[in-house]
Amino acid sequence: MLKNDIFRLKMYSEWISVPATRNAEDKRWSVLHTLPANAGRDVVIAVIKPLASNLGISTPSCDPSVLVSDKQVHWCMEVICFGLGLPLSEHEAIRDCVNVYCEWMLALTKPKVCVPKCICEDPNMYTRNMLNHLYNLFLPRNDNSADIINRQAVLCHRVLRTIETVAQESTIIERETWDAFLLFLLAINDTLLAPPSVPDDIGSHLCERILGVLVEVWLLACHRSFPSPSLWKTFRELACSWRHRIALVDQWNKVNLALTTHVLQFMYGSHFPTAKISDDDSHLVPTDMSNECIAQAWFRLLHTLGNPVDLCRPEVISQTPKFYHFALSSEMVIDPCQHPCLAVLPQIFYKAMKGISNLVDVFLGIAQPDIEEPVHIPRTYSQPTSSSSSTPPHNRRGFSKNLPKDPTNKGMQKASLISNLTSVKSGVNQPLCHNLSSNC
């Protein structure tokens, strides 16, 4: 076993990861969910209108909030929690719920007079509760029409901008609230990015944005309240199930290059040649972040995607519960690695190798070219053929690459798939990372 493999085996080995997505799912419910849907919707519309009209968004001023006690605020939050999960046909009500929560969350910075006094007195506790409810907004809806997805994306962007603002400007965020921000961002990323990607769904619309906010807020947390080993382990385990997303490798390359530049500055001094970084990426690392935090964040984020070689192995990347569920529910796909979205893995692998090559060049002081050579990314997915696999048939994990012609054989394939899915959930077989299981 190589020294690097031995190190990965021990990294975070004494820590357990946090079930971020499952916890978010457990905490997203309101008492209104126990009532008929129409009754809950009527309550939301009746309650949210007067609250949203006094936020000072459409008017130059606002009045003090009519909510004067914790009990009143918590009751309204139960209503808003339900409202955030309404169908997008109730767009106006959902928008009002988002606006109320965004203004209330800004109590961590400079609260408006319309924010209830009890929230201003304990903004951290209320923000953590609001994050539990805001998870509902990011859940995919049944209606996947372009107009519905665009409306949902706009509201999600509003929440993400507010989180960015609070993380950047607030000086009173407690450690527990930092952890809540990170877990919320991990949960929405996992909910939207872990499933096999489908063109023009809400995950594809928000992919780059939610990953960018996760990385930015994570680095701010490293500066203000360094994440625990459990959170780092959670980040890495979840990120391994997003590796079929091109945007993940793009963000990984950006943050690695930005952090590497800072590492070289304090290792070798300002005279050492520096990498060319865009203005947007140069702001990823907080200006007053300590060298120790930079070094720790650089090393840990570098290992977030595990073994980059796995990016060219669809039979490894697809070993996740979401890909298994798709194969189980699909009539045309037996092996999870047959999903059409994995056709972009060659481009993802190329981008990762190019990013690593850039890091090596930076360490060697080699100037980077001003213009990156273009990489063709297919706009539509095509069904990969059996010849596209780099793994010999006898080495594949109990799956048939070709579709079975015999219905009986097909049933046997599905049974084998269920058995493997059970292993995934029980942790007997760690498919999330394959060779990277040594990293967990």
Amino acid at 97: C
What is the per-residue pLDDT for 403? 39
Any residues with CB less than 8 A from the CB of 284 and at least 6 apart, and which?
Answer: 215, 216, 219, 254, 255, 258, 259
Q: Model confidence over 400-412: pLDDT tens digits? A: 333 344 444 444 4
Bigger pLDDT: 58 or 354? Answer: 354
Q: Model confidence over 367-397: pLDDT tens digits? A: 666 555 555 555 444 444 333 444 444 443 4
* Tokens matching residue 73: 């605020």
Kindly report the average pLDDT of the chain as a whole number.
85
* pLDDT over threshold 90, residue 124: yes
* Tokens matching residue 262: 């800072």
What is the per-residue pLDDT for 387? 37
Bigger pLDDT: 9 or 158? Answer: 158
Any residues with CB less than 8 A from the CB of 390 and at least 6 apart, and which?
Answer: 312, 313
Separation of alpha carbons 310 and 339, rounded Å:
16
The 10 Å CB-count burial string (b at 16+, else e) for 332-351 is ebbbbbbbbbbbbbbbbbbb
Assess contact for 362 and 368: CB atoms under 8 A. yes
Do you know the residue count of the chain? 440
Q: How far apart are the first and last CA of the chain?
A: 17
Confidence of residue 75 (pLDDT cuts 50, 70, 90): very high
Bigger pLDDT: 126 or 328? Answer: 126
* pLDDT over threshold 80, residue 414: no
